Structure 1
Amino acid sequence: MNAVAAGPAAPASAGGKADVLPFKATEKTLANGLKIIVVPTGFPNLVSVQIPVQTGSRNEIEPGKSGFAHFFEHMMFRGTKAYPPEKYQDVITKSGARQNAYTSDDLTNYYTTFAKDDLETILKVEADRFQNLSYGEDAFKTESRAVLGEYNKNSANPISKMFEVQRDTAYTTHTYKHTTMGFIKDIEDMPNQYAYSKVFFDRWYRPERTTVIIAGDVDPQKAIALVEKYWSKWQKGSYKSEVPVEPAARGALYKHVPWPTQTPPLVTVGFRAPAFSTTAKDHAALSMLLSLSFGRTSPLYKRLMQDEQKVDQFSDYTPGRVDANLATIIARVKKPEDAVYVRDQILQTVAQLRTVPVTEQALADAKSAQKYGLIRSLDNTEQIAGTLASYVHYNRSYGTLNQFYRLTDSLTPADLLAAARKYLVDDGMIVTTLSNQALPESMATLPSLASLAAPAAEAKVDVLVQKSALPQIRFKLLFAAGSAHDPKGKEGLAALTAMMVASAGSSERKTDEVTKALFPLAGSFTEQTDKEMTTFTGSIHKDNWKQYLTVAMPQLVSPGFREEDFRRLKDSLKNALLVDLKDNNEEELGKERLQTNVFAGTPYAHPVLGTAKGIDAITLDDVKDFYKKAYTQGAVRVGISGDVSDDMTAALKQALAKLPAGAGLPVTTVPVARMPNGLEVEIIEKNTRATALSFGLPIEVRRGHPDFPALWLAKTFLGEHRASNAYLYQRIRELRGMNYGDYTYIEAFPRGMFQFFPNPNVGRKGQLFEVWIRPVAPENAHLALRIALTELDKVIQQGLTEQQFEITRGYLMKNVFVMTATQDQYLGYALDSQWYGTPEFTKMMRDGLSKLTLADLNAAIKKHLSTKNLSLVFITKDAAGLKEKLVTDAVSTIKYDGNKPQSLLDEDKVIGSMKLNIKPEAVKITPASAVFAE
């Protein structure tokens, strides 16, 4: 069959009807049904291969068999006869690639981003695993336990549980009844479903359901030829099935979720929503309407979030799905007694949407924001390919995204009103709540929408410029002011001050007015605070630069500092500390606690977010005083990237000239961390399903240190963040199936649970070597520690082999380009290099790695790492029981679901009996309620 060029897209412009993707794509469908889409993006060196399969949890049509689409996202990394896991990972490593996959309701997408020279190799191994996936029952059972571990990990998040219950309540028949993870009873029974797993894979992993997207620095015809070479023999399937149709809704539904730990109440109001379409307007119209009515520019958002401060989170969610699904408004309420009020305010707004159309200007602004918002995200090859994959899966066509945006451009206020009247109805309403405390009894009685309807009514700063062809302009303002500058007793002041600058408006505009002004421009102005620095990041399309500066920059140079915003953001900061970090995320909590323990007695001894007592003590006058001292012209480093003109740079400098002169806050000293004496343990007692573990020790190595490249390579070998080919991951997660992942760090990685790459602008003068063991079953916690220490000690004592060294170095020489691939990362790393006083990051790392020898590496590992002197943080339910096991050196064992080699069982016995020699006085138990209190 002939390849067809999709053609160059017309340039996109705000409010116009041009295509939003400015690329020329080539498409071809093979005789077996496989679809190929090749997109040269104009970005050099990298290629991203994305393979969306039209197989998601929607396809799990047999009762008791939910979760298998997500399961195969895991299982597809188990290899084939030609490429078993270790050989497959060797190929990926040698290509310097980062890869992963995700599963949704309607698709499973596999993606790999790598240096362009390895395209044929990647296509070859990917074709092999899609056509020849091979796994035995033991491997199947091990992976099924890992899937359960992922469910357990997610179980600490109340939002995840809320959506799980909402869907279970809303649906009776359709497979959207269960989430992508599946029902827990099915996940727990999964080890018994080996035979069925083969059936599921045979049915759904077929070429006619699959698209191969190749984007980046690529020749279309050569790429298509490679796909034909390796994929054309894949056999088309014959299985036909029908996803059960959900009957029409009959009446409003309510469901409450009692939550075992402290958390602010959640209230969601959902409605039956139409399927995604590029021809029918319903989905696009409803999504646009709810975004306008409940998003950051809406009157209700302003009232509930800012004026009345009843909620601290408020958003809407209308996902595109193959079949009719749910649209949801989500609110996190500060006080249980306000839950009914918040629900009714949402319903009153919904009722009004059915009678009062939006204005032409509001709709035009929303269209503009949506289009520019998409364009600004397309700043690297992987993002372009990933965005394509999220739309291609509907009908395996490059044109789907452009068609959808053309449809959106055609929307009128009448279309939005029609969608409201069709879908925002009592029969299709599902209200769900979640809380630890009792809610008012009236919450269970849902009012009708009809009953709620209301009557219609230039600075002295140097600027680092990274000029490129990207129309999206991004700038960063890095101030030498962070939590290490927090005054004693006011911990959290640096973070709260930054929040007040970025999220509380200016003296000219209140925060809602800023939001409204930025909305049609798709502009943003955000903050990030860390120990040593606070960074403000602006992002805007070059067409809107002048208008953007007049709205965004006054927030920095002339903040509003209103009392109502101060109260709102102070509550938000405290909830981020006590709820989002401490109560709902034991993984990040453990990592943060390890940092504070090692740096006890120094300015690093509290989280960036502060302490509960410190936040309570902060006044608005404290914020104003910190702002005046910290945000000066002498304290800021400035970087800007994109299609930047000299006039833009001058305008930015002129805006910053309104900052006061001065050097800023006093320079901080290097924090003197305390080296642990033996194994020192803190056990945080918390009501949690699994046990989290982090351990480490301080290191003197930072960027610019002679041993930095060596330790960077060592941590990558041991356990690079989210990398499944790493040593600890293979020994703990892959071989034993004990948890979801095991990673190592030599630089702080905040928010690691939520992202694959570290944010730039987290430079610190004090760092840790840290190992993160993601949660394990409580009964396996002692053994997990022993295994981790055993494997780490092997590496310290024996070092890496020449082969291990060369493979890891080869990976890193290429991976540094992947790490800095986005506009934000490249600019951020450049500013970090200024702060550290080092060469540009990729050059520094490639030069350092190229000069590194195996002897240098192994010497650095022995010099800086240890298994004898470590600080450890456990988070578990039975703290006393765990302490007893640790101090008595009790033998630890593990029970596997599947068969394991005798050599592994013998090894487990030896490890399970090893002496850790932890002294009773070296173990401290801390109730979760006391953590970060002061």
Structure 2
Amino acid sequence: MKSDYRITFFNTFSISGLLLLINLLISSSAFANPHEYLLDNGLKLIVKQDHRSPVVVTQIWYKAGSVDEINGVTGVAHVLEHMMFKGTEKIPDAEFSKKIAAAGGRENAFTSYDYTAYYQQLHKKHLPMAMELEADRMRNLVITKEEFEKEIRVVMEERRLRTDDQARSLLYEKMMAVAFQSHPYKNPIIGWMNDLENMEVEDAQEWYDRWYAPNNATLVVVGDVDAEDVFRLAQKNYGSIQSKPLLAINARKPQIEPPQLGTKRISIKAPAELPYLIMGFHAPAIRSVNEDWEPYALEILEGILDGHASARLNKSLVRESQIANSTSAGYGAVARGPSIFFISAVPSVGRTVVELEQALRSEIEKIIKEGVTEEELTRVKAQVIAGHVYQQDSTFSQAMQLGRLESTGLSYRDIDTILEKLKAVTAEQIRDVTKKYFIDDGLTVAVLDPQPLEQKAPSKVPGSLRH
């Protein structure tokens, strides 16, 4: 979303032009047409018509992710995601994927802290087939001990490849385990290796039986479709599936992270070429779309620090002082749990992590003491808001936006409000959230201590990694 021509455009556009652009983006008809339906069994259906090409994206979002797991079975949400492709009595083995591929479509799935989702993208004429297949495995999945034992080995190998053998991923995992004292976000989505090694087929079956139900799911369909036709199709395929007694997201027991009482530090030794520094500050996520203002200010702050070639971290630390080889900032305002504002960097050759941390702290202090200019604020607002709006460029991104909001306790109806709140952020609010949340008592510092790289033979994966 941040391609070169857009960066150039924003850097050369006049301030008045940017203000006009923001208003035009927010009032765009791209947000106008989602249709919402609720089946008798509790399944929510959201349909967005986009007739630019004869393509449709269908996604089913289950409101259950790793945040809902308990100790001893971490990773089970992701393991069940893998098992969902093993078939039903009607569609056995890998026939699901073969049918989608034969229709010229693509399909996959993803598990997060907050939800698990499955999707297909294909020609609109194949939507009935895709919906029939997905509805079938919502209630008729066959989980056998034999297939589970095969797939758990795939997941363990995925963990080795993507976390254990990736220094930065390993550092992030260890940092999250330190940053959170009690909240389930401390556990990795893929699970701890010991839990995977001791997981049993009954754990996957129990997860499926508990959470995979129409009243715990949102079906999102975006593309060249008629909303009423999609509703009838959903009723046909999903309508007969019985609901289950389970808790809605907002009714589940609160999992409040205790206040942090001092800086936490962790150093990890792992094979790598260069050191790596992550500074994570505890921060809030959106709880009340209309009443909150801090998450919106933090999102704009992310754009001030990172997000484009002229952002502060890159300009000051990479191009000017050259203390850093690279820098980045990241923050998520949409989550079921608390958020963390991340700042990370790689020191330049000859510079230390200690020097780098001090340089990052200096940039934070500049914002607290000097604030940001109205010109900078307006430019960054336009970039951040445009980033949201450019999600309308593809049917898949539109579906992701709708499903993610619905699966984290918010609503697709909040999109326009979120954009308006971003537009309303002031320079004083930027300073206030920086001063409030970028404090040592809410900080976790993680440092990668690079060890000599060793040549390893490629691992043999006993199956296919879904992602």
TM-score normalized by the length of structure 1:
0.45
1:740, 1:233 → 2: CA distance?
32
> Is structure 2 residue 255 aligned with structure 1 residue 255?
no
Which of 274, 286, 296 does residue 284 from structure 1 map onto? 296
- Is the deviation greater in 89-98 or in 126-135? 89-98
Aligned residues: 438
Unaligned runs of 5+ residues in structure 1 are: 1-11, 439-582, 584-685, 694-732, 742-755, 757-934
Cα shift at 1:336: 6.5
After TM superposition, the structure 1 = structure 2 runs for residues 472-871 of structure 1, keeping only pairs within 5 Å, are 686-688=454-456, 691-692=458-459, 737-738=462-463, 740=465
Counterpart for residue 194 of structure 2: 185
Cα shift at 1:294: 4.2
1:437, 1:91 → 2: CA distance?
46
Decide whether the 8 Å contact of 2:314 with 2:326 is kept in 1.
no
Cα shift at 1:302: 1.6
Cα shift at 1:224: 0.4
Decide whether the 8 Å contact of 2:313 with 2:328 is kept in 1.
no
In the alignment, residue 248 of structure 1 is paired with which amino acid? P
In the alignment, residue 262 of structure 2 is paired with which amino acid? G
2:442, 2:419 → 1: CA distance?
27
Which of 54, 59, 71 does residue 45 from structure 1 map onto? 54
> Is structure 2 residue 371 aligned with structure 1 residue 357?
yes
> Is structure 2 residue 49 aligned with structure 1 residue 35?
no
2:244, 2:28 → 1: CA distance?
35
2:85, 2:109 → 1: CA distance?
10
SS in 1 for 2:408: coil
Q: Can you list the C-alpha shifts for 1:686-717, whole angstroms capped at 9, x where unaligned?
A: 444x6258xxxxxxxxxxxxxxxxxxxxxxxx
> Is structure 2 residue 246 aligned with structure 1 residue 233?
no
Answer with 1 or 2: which has the greater Rg. Answer: 1
The change in CA–CA distance for 1:397 and 1:337 in structure 2 (over 3 A counts) is closer
> Is structure 2 residue 441 aligned with structure 1 residue 416?
no
2:138, 2:52 → 1: CA distance?
28
Cα shift at 1:415: 2.2
After TM superposition, the structure 1 = structure 2 runs for residues 95-114 of structure 1, keeping only pairs within 5 Å, are 95-114=103-122
1:188, 1:424 → 2: CA distance?
39
Which of 265, 268, 275 does residue 275 from structure 2 map onto? 265
In the alignment, residue 740 of structure 1 is paired with which amino acid? L
1:299, 1:382 → 2: CA distance?
32
> Is structure 2 residue 34 aligned with structure 1 residue 25?
yes
Cα shift at 1:407: 1.7
Counterpart for residue 674 of structure 1: none
Which of 377, 380, 383 does residue 366 from structure 1 map onto? 380
The change in CA–CA distance for 1:202 and 1:107 in structure 2 (over 3 A counts) is same
Which of 207, 216, 219 does residue 209 from structure 1 map onto? 216
Counterpart for residue 336 of structure 2: 322
Counterpart for residue 253 of structure 2: 242
2:322, 2:411 → 1: CA distance?
45
Decide whether the 8 Å contact of 1:14 with 1:371 is kept in 2.
no
The change in CA–CA distance for 1:276 and 1:188 in structure 2 (over 3 A counts) is farther
Counterpart for residue 229 of structure 2: 222
Structure with bigger RCO (C-alpha 8 Å, 6+ apart): 2
> Is structure 2 residue 171 aligned with structure 1 residue 162?
yes
1:182, 1:692 → 2: CA distance?
20
Q: Can you list the C-alpha shifts for 1:183-213, whole angstroms capped at 9, x where unaligned?
A: 22212222xx221222212222222221111
Counterpart for residue 537 of structure 1: none
Decide whether the 8 Å contact of 2:313 with 2:327 is kept in 1.
no
Percent sequence identity over matched residues? Answer: 26
SS in 2 for 1:691: coil
Which of 305, 311, 317 does residue 298 from structure 1 map onto? 311
1:18, 1:406 → 2: CA distance?
10
The change in CA–CA distance for 1:56 and 1:294 in structure 2 (over 3 A counts) is same
The change in CA–CA distance for 1:140 and 1:425 in structure 2 (over 3 A counts) is same
1:89, 1:74 → 2: CA distance?
12
The change in CA–CA distance for 1:222 and 1:20 in structure 2 (over 3 A counts) is closer
Counterpart for residue 63 of structure 2: 54
TM-score normalized by the length of structure 2:
0.88
The change in CA–CA distance for 1:180 and 1:739 in structure 2 (over 3 A counts) is same
2:234, 2:410 → 1: CA distance?
16
Q: Can you list the C-alpha shifts for 1:888-917, whole angstroms capped at 9, x where unaligned?
A: xxxxxxxxxxxxxxxxxxxxxxxxxxxxxx
The change in CA–CA distance for 1:101 and 1:20 in structure 2 (over 3 A counts) is farther
Counterpart for residue 9 of structure 2: none
> Is structure 2 residue 107 aligned with structure 1 residue 94?
no
Counterpart for residue 386 of structure 1: 400
In the alignment, residue 294 of structure 2 is paired with which amino acid? D
Q: Can you list the C-alpha shifts for 1:759-780, whole angstroms capped at 9, x where unaligned?
A: xxxxxxxxxxxxxxxxxxxxxx
In the alignment, residue 316 of structure 1 is paired with which amino acid? A
Which of 132, 138, 150 does residue 142 from structure 1 map onto? 150
SS in 2 for 1:15: helix
Counterpart for residue 320 of structure 2: 307
SS in 1 for 2:280: strand
> Is structure 2 residue 25 aligned with structure 1 residue 14?
no
In the alignment, residue 393 of structure 1 is paired with which amino acid? S
Which of 63, 68, 75 does residue 83 from structure 2 map onto? 75
2:32, 2:52 → 1: CA distance?
12
Counterpart for residue 197 of structure 1: 204
In the alignment, residue 41 of structure 2 is paired with which amino acid? N
Cα shift at 1:256: 0.3
Counterpart for residue 354 of structure 2: 340
The change in CA–CA distance for 1:739 and 1:123 in structure 2 (over 3 A counts) is closer
1:237, 1:334 → 2: CA distance?
55
SS in 1 for 2:345: strand
1:224, 1:410 → 2: CA distance?
37
In the alignment, residue 208 of structure 1 is paired with which amino acid? N
